[in-house]
Amino acid sequence: MTAAAATAHHAIVSTRSTRLWNAKNSRFDKNVCLVSVGSCCPGNRKLGLLCASGSQSSVTEPVQQPSNGKGDHSPKKSKESSLILIRHGESMWNEKNLFTGCVDVPLTPKGVQEAIEAGSRIRNLPIDVIYTSSMVRAQMTAMLAMMQHRRKKVPIIMHNESEQAHSWSKIYSEDTKKLSIPVITAWQLNERMYGELQGLNKQETADQFGKEQVHEWRRSYGIPPPNGESLEMCAERAVSYFNDQVVPQLTSGKHVMVAAHANSLRSIIMHLDRLTSQEVISLELSTGIPMLYIFKEGKFVRRGSPVGPSEASVYAYTKNLAQYRQKLDSMVQ
């Protein structure tokens, strides 16, 4: 691991443990130990790789093509699927340390690099459908990351905002469709609305209102910034969307990537890992770091962040991932 990768890897901070989500029973039913790289310590609050060994399952074809991303799923041999969550790369307002929220700003050159680096980490992982927020920084991140993917499918933004937009963007070749990945954009995955903090400098705001107050606005679950959304309010739309749209894709065996934002993803991770409103306070997501979950039999198992494209343990997570990787290796590139 390079020093930069190690820093980035350790920059994701989570809480002590997570549990397996049982969608059927709508509950979490088993604790899972999260460890930092190279150790397995329940007291360690850094998020890294799981110490559990990979599960076994039957082979899933790596190439799966949803027709419209909203249903119409072809039957699969195995229902195991993977979920990649990624916060966008550094934006031009991250760089300036400004509260951004729902202001739609693009990536910096560093953010572009982070997205490309993220893409190289996940370049051997299966991805059938991509969800992004409606904001350009998340969309840029998803697109740049996909440029690195070894399968070389083309990510294509679905335009379903009107019947005309839908019909005018129709693809008339089945072969070409098979070589594309639908990208579904959803405002529900947008960054939490930061209210009257949007555009303000974070340090100056802390100087003015006090560090504790600003930390409460930024990290608490229930307290909204002035005229903005609390994490709880953000969760209401982001987690509902995730459950309504993303989970059915995973259930049908599709491999999904979600490119979104610090707080929309914090709310989703809080839900997946069943963090309490106290625990979520210390959940920090770095820009441009992908995180992998395996979804199987209605349960989410967090597998950490792939450090590099060839990291052996990522592909040992499950037999399916290993086989997908092998298929990529055997394909003429």
Ligand X SMILES: O=C(O)[C@H](O)COP(=O)(O)O
Binding site for substrate, by residue number, is 87-94, 100-101, 137, 191-194, 202, 218-219
Q: How far is the CB of 243 from ligand X (least distance, A)?
A: 22
Binding window for ligand X (CB under 6 A); candidates: 97-105, 157-165, 236-244, 308-316: 97-105
Nearer Cβ to ligand X (191/273): 191
Q: How many residues belong to the chain?
A: 333
Question: Dihedral of CA 180/184/185/189: which sign?
Answer: negative
Size of the site for ligand X (CB under 6 A): 9
- Catalytic annotation, residues: 88, 191
Site string for ligand X, 43-82 (x = CB under 6 A): ----------------------------------------
Of all residues in this chain, which one has the CB nearest to ligand X in the complex?
A: 100
User: Binding site: what residues are annotated?
Assistant: 87-94, 100-101, 137, 191-194, 202, 218-219
State the Cα–Cα distance between residues 131 and 94, nearest whole angstrom: 22
Separation of alpha carbons 290 and 144, rounded Å: 13
Q: Identify the residue among 263, 264, 318, 320 touching ligand X (CB under 6 A).
A: 263
As beta bridge partners, residue 18 has 32
Helix (H) or strand (E) holding 292: strand 290-296
Token digits of residue 156: 């294509």
Least distance to ligand X, CB of residue 47, Å? 17
Q: Within 179-198, which residues bind ligand X (CB under 6 A)?
A: 191, 194
Which residue number, 39 or 208, has a Cβ lying nearer to ligand X? 208
Q: Hunting for tokens 């625990």 — which residue is that?
A: 279
In the complex, minimum distance from the CB of residue 177 to ligand X, in angstroms, rounded to a whole number: 34
Question: Are the CB atoms for 148 and 119 separated by under 8 Å?
Answer: yes
229 lies in the site for ligand X, by CB under 6 A: no
Give whichever of 230 and 263 is closer to ligand X, judged by the CB atom: 263
**Minimum distance from CB of 219 to ligand X (Å)?**
7
3-class DSSP assignment, residue 263:
helix
Per rule CB under 6 A, is residue 230 in the interface with ligand X?
Answer: no
The C-alpha R_g of the chain, in whole angstroms, comes to: 19
Q: Does 224 bind ligand X (CB under 6 A)?
A: no
Contact track, ligand X, 243-262, x by CB under 6 A = ------------------xx
Q: What is the side-by-side order of every strand in the sheet holding 299-304?
A: 154-157, 180-185, 129-132, 256-260, 81-87, 290-296, 299-304
What whole-number distance in Å separates Cα of residue 102 and Cα of residue 133? 10
**Helix, strand or coil, per DSSP, at residue 273:** coil
Between 138 and 184, name the residue whose CB sits nearer to ligand X: 138
Q: Between residue 109 and residue 168, which ones bind ligand X under the rule CB under 6 A?
A: none
Residue 268 and residue 85 in contact, taking contact as beta carbons nearer than 8 Å: yes
Cβ within 8 Å of residue 148, ≥6 positions away: 116, 119, 120, 122, 123
The contact set with ligand X (CB under 6 A) reads 99-101, 191, 194, 218, 261-263
